[in-house]
Amino acid sequence: MSKFLRLIPCLLLVLMLAPVHAAPDKVPVPVRIGLTPVFLDDQAAFVHAWRTYLEQRLRRPVSFVQRGSYREVVEMLRDGKLDFAWLCGYPYIRNLDRFRLTAVPLYKGEPLYHAYIIVPASDRKSRSLADLRGKVFAFSDPDSNSGHLYPEYLLARQGLTSSAHFARTFYTWSHRKVVEAVAAGLAQGGAVDGYIWDTLALTHPELTGKTRVIAESPQFGHPPIVANRNVAPELFKTMQAVLIRMAHDEAASPLLSTLNLDGFVYGDPHLFDGIADMSRYLDSTRDAPSQRR
């Protein structure tokens, strides 16, 4: 026993001199952001640059999740598999109870844009959707405002549906591909986001030059960045602040230039009232007898 007692000071000294290994820091969970196809030539390079920028400003990892349709992104956001997503105003107004408006792009000084109806440049006669009766028409996405809702609304006001008015319709799943389809003559008309057509006119005039805008919608709220309502309040506020500050951050200038945007603003859900009105109108007339002819 006395021998053991004599060893205690030695044991204490060993413990005091032993290296202390601190618990490793917990790796932050990435911020998950959903995207759909856009008009960029090199989307992968842009996404990489934007991810790097956001990681530096948020001080945590960022993961962009790209899907081919709004519906896929919406479902992931609903299921909590995404924290934020860049959506169209149409799926946003249909999920007001699930999604929280984070920021709205600023384009030409306003958080607004137009929808365009386009035809091949060789078509000098068509002036409206009515002139495209019996033609092939390209939509972008069934959940797109400019690429589907708006033209369907215009037809519904005349007591028509796209299936009755056009010989055939198809989805391209990208606004740029709508422009390409019309330019190539695969469709005799198409519905496209005016901001994207305008941007392509700057970067690829040889493409948009093969098309012609025959109708322009009233202004709508620009496709917003939204959040899952379960996102932590602190993360929501931080992400929102980072997006809003991009307009005043020199490091963000190349990113905004690539997107042809002035920046992002807080926005207001009422920006999307026009889209909500069209959606309600279509819902109220979808089963009316005049819609079946």
Cα separation, 261 vs 280, whole angstroms: 30
Mean pLDDT of the chain: 90
Among 217, 250, 280, give the residue marking a domain's end.
217
* 176 and 206 Cβ atoms separated by less than 8 Å: no
What are the tens digits of pLDDT across the range 231-257? Answer: 999 999 999 999 999 999 999 999 999
Do residue 136 and residue 196 come from a single domain? yes
Q: Which residue has the tokens 């069209």?
A: 278
How many structural domains is the chain composed of?
2
Do residue 94 and residue 35 come from a single domain? yes
Do residue 106 and residue 242 come from a single domain? yes
Best CA proximity match to 221, nearest among 36, 55, 96: 96
What is the pLDDT, as a whole number, of residue 35?
95
Q: Does residue 228 form part of some domain?
A: yes
Residue range 146-164: average pLDDT? 96
Among 217, 234, 254, give the residue marking a domain's end.
217
Do residue 45 and residue 185 come from a single domain? no
* 224 and 138 Cβ atoms separated by less than 8 Å: no
* 153 and 280 Cβ atoms separated by less than 8 Å: no
Q: Does residue 202 form part of some domain?
A: yes
Q: Does residue 290 form part of some domain?
A: no
Do residue 135 and residue 210 come from a single domain? yes
Do residue 74 and residue 102 come from a single domain? yes
Do residue 40 and residue 105 come from a single domain? yes
Do residue 119 and residue 213 come from a single domain? yes
What is the pLDDT, as a whole number, of residue 134?
97
Q: Does residue 67 form part of some domain?
A: yes
What is the pLDDT, as a whole number, of residue 27?
67
Do residue 151 and residue 102 come from a single domain? no
Mean pLDDT is highest, among 28-32, 34-38, 135-139, for 135-139
Q: Does residue 94 form part of some domain?
A: yes
**Residue 209 phi, psi (nearest 5):** -65, -15
Please list, in sequence order, all residues whose beta carbon lies within 8 angstroms of the beta carbon of residue 107, skipping any fewer than 6 positions away: 113, 195, 222, 260, 261, 262
Residue 19's pLDDT band, with cuts at 50, 70 and 90, is: very low
Q: How far from each other are the two terminal CA atoms of the chain, in whole angstroms?
A: 103
Q: Does residue 4 form part of some domain?
A: no
The CATH number of whichever domain residue 84 belongs to comes to 3.40.190.10
Do residue 239 and residue 148 come from a single domain? no
Q: pTM for this one? A: 0.87
What are the tens digits of pLDDT across the range 270-281? Answer: 999 999 999 999
Residue 7's pLDDT band, with cuts at 50, 70 and 90, is: very low
Among 217, 233, 251, give the residue marking a domain's end.
217
Q: Does residue 6 form part of some domain?
A: no
Do residue 120 and residue 173 come from a single domain? yes
- Residue type, position 157, single letter: R
Do residue 98 and residue 119 come from a single domain? no
Supply the range of the domain harboring residue 247. 31-110+221-269
Q: Does residue 25 form part of some domain?
A: no
